[in-house]
Structure 1
Amino acid sequence: MDSSGLRRAYDELLDEVTAGGFGPPPAGQLTAEQIVAHLAVNDELMSEATEAVLAGAPFAYYDPETLHRGALDALVAEHGGLDGLATLLRATSGRLCALVERLGPTADTPVETHLREGFDLWVDEPLPWSRTLDLHTRVHLPKHLAQLRMLRDGGDA
């Protein structure tokens, strides 16, 4: 499976992270550090599902709702802030992209997917893994890119 679109989405996001200059989030929203931590942990979940698909497992599962702020805050502390988290995200996204490139025809394997992106996207059913990866590329990553840009612009978005 081609990962070029996924790689471009990560490159754009990582360029934004590297630019820095983020302000505090509006009440109840994630900080820039928490957003990057969320993406890194999500990459690990997606990599696990991709590995299960590649291994021919009869059941693969993807549910990013298992992520919670306490775990994100611990990851932020562990990696020493935004620079360390950017390094982590480069590694996790690179690993995910490399796994995606190995999928070939197995990319159409159904994976039990639970995905919620506000009011924009609600999935609670098996989807071909290629479709979930496409949603990650075209919806999930751009949403977090927009959040980061809003944090740089002082929350006016």
Structure 2
Amino acid sequence: MESGGLRGVYREVLAELEAGGFGAAGPGEWSAEQIVAHLVANDELMAETTEAVLAGSPFAFYDLAGVHRPELDVLIAECGGLPGLATLLRATSQRLCALVDRLGPAADTPVETHLREGFDLVVDESLPWSRTLDLHTRVHLPKHLAQLRTLRDHPQPA
């Protein structure tokens, strides 16, 4: 398995972060900082799962849709805000992509997967790890990229 598509979506997310100018999140929505903190935490979990697959160890993958804002806010504070989060996201995404490039035939390893993307995607079954990575590339990352673009399109008044 190769990470070309995954790397491409990460490039788009990172370019959006570099463009900056994000406005405030609406009620019940995540801020740009919280979105990036979520992506960092998700990358770390996906990297752990990929390492387990490479090692031949059983592993279950649970998405982080249920991460609470206070937990994201702790990560934001630890990173010093959006610039630090963007730097960390660059590192976590590169690590994940490098691991994906090593998967080869192990990409077909079934992994108990539990995902929830709002009402659009619900997965609660064993999937080949390559399928979960594909969902991350085609659904999860683009969803958060769209959220970032919306926040940039509606900047906070001066």
TM bin (shorter chain): over 0.9
Match of 1:78 in 2: 78
Unpaired stretches in structure 2, ≥5 consecutive residues: none
**Pairs within 5 Å for 1:1-157:** 1-57=1-57, 59-65=58-64, 67-154=67-154
TM-score by structure 1 length? 0.95
Across the aligned residues of Structure 1 and Structure 2, the Cα RMSD in angstroms comes to 1.0
Amino acid at match of 2:61: Y
**Counterpart secondary structure, 2:124:** strand
Amino acid at match of 1:112: E
Unpaired stretches in structure 1, ≥5 consecutive residues: none
Distance 2:26 2:69 in 1: 15
Query: Which stretches of structure 1, 4 residues or longer, exceed 2 Å deviation after superposition?
Result: 65-68
Distance 1:68 1:125 in 2: 24
Alignment size in residue pairs: 154
TM-score by structure 2 length? 0.95
- Displacement of 1:67 in angstroms is 2.5
Q: Once the two structures are superposed, what CA deviation does each residue of 1:65-99 show, in whole Å capped at 9, x if it has no partner?
A: 35221111000001011100000000000000000
- Displacement of 1:9 in angstroms is 0.4
Q: Percent identity?
A: 71
